[in-house]
Structure 1
Amino acid sequence: MSPADATALGGRASDAENPWASESFIGFDSAWTDNPRAPGAIAALVVASDGTATFHPPRLSRFAEALAFIDEVATGYTLIALDQPTIVRNAAGMRPAERVAAAAISWLGGGVQPASRSKTGMFCDAAPIWPFLAALGAADDPMAARAASNGRHVMEVFPALAIPAFDAGCAARKAAAKYNPANPRFRPDDWRRVARAAAAQFDRWQLAEPACWCRDAAALLRPRKADQDRLDAMLCLAIALHWRLAPSAESIMIGDLDDGYIVAPLAPALRDRLTAAAALRGVAIDGRPAAVSGR
């Protein structure tokens, strides 16, 4: 990608000689556990200070491999979009942010997997996510990550909420995409729809290589679960770019840094549903505390 193209990627040129500080965007679908037979996947886009972009296609990855990859591609500013909760303090049940997200996801026809310390292997004291985050050494504050000019940042993202924002056809009652090939409810048309929607997001930022990868994924006749893991890593990567570069009104942060949060692009059709659910439960939206409905 030329420096001119890179300037279009967010329109943040500061001068002709150095339009960009080096930035790395990483999408990591961790799969929550560290099962060697069911790894997650990770992808990255690195934009150099001269505006050239290097795309690292998604690869299957466990936590240790993901950490090594991040260390390899990290630059002066690095944003890691992680498809796994990073703040889990509740002993059981759902985090407040998940209850708010569920108000939209259930309407769409999907489900929210609750995160709690009772989830052995996922969020218990021995879960792999905690040493991974400790070794990563990244700031976990999405609002700060959006405005920062340097440093390593991580944020929890939720592709199931992003898909309706990337494809308005999925933002309707019972319209959630069923694109997991391992699920009996898998629909090939939904697989193609999600992959093409991801491609369109990279097209938005004039990123030809990741967009081409997504279109190639859409053309797969018999995608496997590993293909979906790679596609989810690409969705996480698209969310990282979206959070950093798109107008803030196009995204949402549900929850807070005490009880956990969820970041996602925001479908206009879901805005009222999410904000009403947040007000009902007293859950913060975009860093602003929400008053409990009726008080």
Structure 2
Amino acid sequence: MKREEDELTMSRSPSEPNSQVAARRGILVVGFDSAWVDNPKAPGAICAIGFDDTCEPRFVAPQLAGFQDALSFIENERRSHRLCVIALDQPTIVPNMTGGRPAERVAGSVISFVGGGVQPANRSKAAMFGDEAPVWRFIEALDALQDPLLVPKAETGMFLIEVFPALAIPGFEPAFAGRHGAPKYNPSNRRKFRIYDWKLVTAMVAEVAATAGLTAMARWAEDMASLEGPRKADQDRLDSAICALVGLIWRDGSCPAAMIGDLDDGYIISPVSEPTRARMQAAAETKGVPLSFRLSD
């Protein structure tokens, strides 16, 4: 098993500009929770975090979007940015006809422990990953480079990375990483949904955003926390914000993160906390899955 630890961390001396600031200058990070199938009655959601040449942040609040909407959104938002990173909550490399991808087995070691589940991606699921599935048309039209290991130091261009909010949540917040600690924040699952968990997840997003200096995003998340009757569309919006935060921390190194898997069999990018990192490492070693860490700068 290949494991690259901290090879992506950018070094700097005290006289050099802060590397996180330099990594943000002129970039756009898009978070897209695609909903996996192109159903106009149940679209996903998309949002963006942008930085101008002075690193002043701008937040484009989540809006409902299907694949074609997402392409238009990305085209409009990226025009004034030299680098664009799209963080997509959907498998982007699926070579296997059945079963699940190796990266999903490692992610599943964390998610099953915290009380969640992983939907395996394979080509037999025609609507999601068959030859005519909308995600492939989206990726082809996007024409972005898929190589997460290049993202931290890239100067220009457009990159696509796969992310997974259910894995990101215990990676951002260790309190969610204990046994059965996953928050039940999906309003469409009425039997399990807990408004208290909804408030915890929105508070987590607000805190991560505030720590990153994204004041507008933090305020948006606080407003989402105040919803007393959130709907599935609200969760989609929230997940798109989580996607964007994962894309940002993978780019700027402000939070420890990992790439699970590879470009042959599929991969997932996720923040890691101490408990999720330990569980990922154990699973990756047992299952022989590549695991590359990007430690915080």
Q: Distance in 2 between matches of 1:130 and 1:90?
A: 15
Matched, 1:10 2:20: yes
2:228 matched to which residue of 1?
221
1:147-190 deviations in whole A, cap 9, x for unaligned? 21111001000111111122221010010111000012111111
**Shift of residue 204, structure 1, vs aligned partner:** 1.0
Q: 1:41 to 1:104 in 2, by over 3 A?
A: same
SS state at 1:10 partner: helix
1:195 matched to which residue of 2?
202
1:291 matched to which residue of 2?
none
> Structure 2 length normalisation: TM-score?
0.89
1:94-126 deviations in whole A, cap 9, x for unaligned? 001001111111011000010000112100001
1:268 matched to which residue of 2?
274
One-letter identity of the residue aligned with 1:262: I
Structure 2 counterparts to residues 186-265 of structure 1, below 5 A:
186-247=193-254, 250-265=256-271
**Shift of residue 245, structure 1, vs aligned partner:** 1.6
One-letter identity of the residue aligned with 2:259: M
One-letter identity of the residue aligned with 1:192: K
- Specify which of 276, 284, 292 is matched with residue 278 of structure 1: 284
1:27 matched to which residue of 2?
31
Q: Distance in 1 between matches of 2:18 and 2:62?
A: 24
- Specify which of 80, 84, 90 is matched with residue 90 of structure 2: 84
**Shift of residue 11, structure 1, vs aligned partner:** 3.2
**Shift of residue 9, structure 1, vs aligned partner:** 9.2
**Shift of residue 53, structure 1, vs aligned partner:** 2.4
Q: Distance in 1 between matches of 2:103 and 2:34?
A: 20
**Shift of residue 281, structure 1, vs aligned partner:** 1.3
**Shift of residue 51, structure 1, vs aligned partner:** 2.7
Q: Distance in 2 between matches of 1:264 and 1:234?
A: 14
SS state at 2:85 partner: strand
Task: Say whether the 8 Å CA contact 1:256–1:287 is kept in structure 2.
Answer: no
Q: Distance in 1 between matches of 2:152 and 2:293?
A: 13
Structure 2 counterparts to residues 127-138 of structure 1, below 5 A:
127-138=133-144
The range that moved more, 65-74 or 159-168, is 159-168
Task: Say whether the 8 Å CA contact 1:43–1:237 is kept in structure 2.
Answer: yes
Structure 1 runs of 4+ aligned residues shifted over 4 Å read: none
> Structure 1 length normalisation: TM-score?
0.90
Q: Distance in 2 between matches of 1:276 and 1:205?
A: 30
Q: Distance in 2 between matches of 1:156 and 1:185?
A: 27
Q: Which runs of 5+ in 1 are unaligned?
A: 1-6, 14-19, 289-295
**Shift of residue 247, structure 1, vs aligned partner:** 4.8
Instruction: Identify which of structures 1 and 2 has the higher relative contact order when contacts are C-alpha pairs closer than 8 Å and 6+ apart.
Output: 2
Structure 2 counterparts to residues 4-153 of structure 1, below 5 A:
10-12=20-22, 21-74=25-78, 75-153=81-159
**Shift of residue 50, structure 1, vs aligned partner:** 2.8
Q: Which runs of 5+ in 2 are unaligned?
A: 1-16
Q: In the comparison of the two structures, how many residue pairs are matched?
A: 275
Task: Say whether the 8 Å CA contact 1:116–1:123 is kept in structure 2.
Answer: yes
Q: Distance in 2 between matches of 1:283 and 1:213?
A: 37
Q: Indicate the RMSD between aligned Cα atoms, in angstroms.
A: 1.7
What fraction of aligned residue pairs are identical, expressed as a percent? Answer: 48
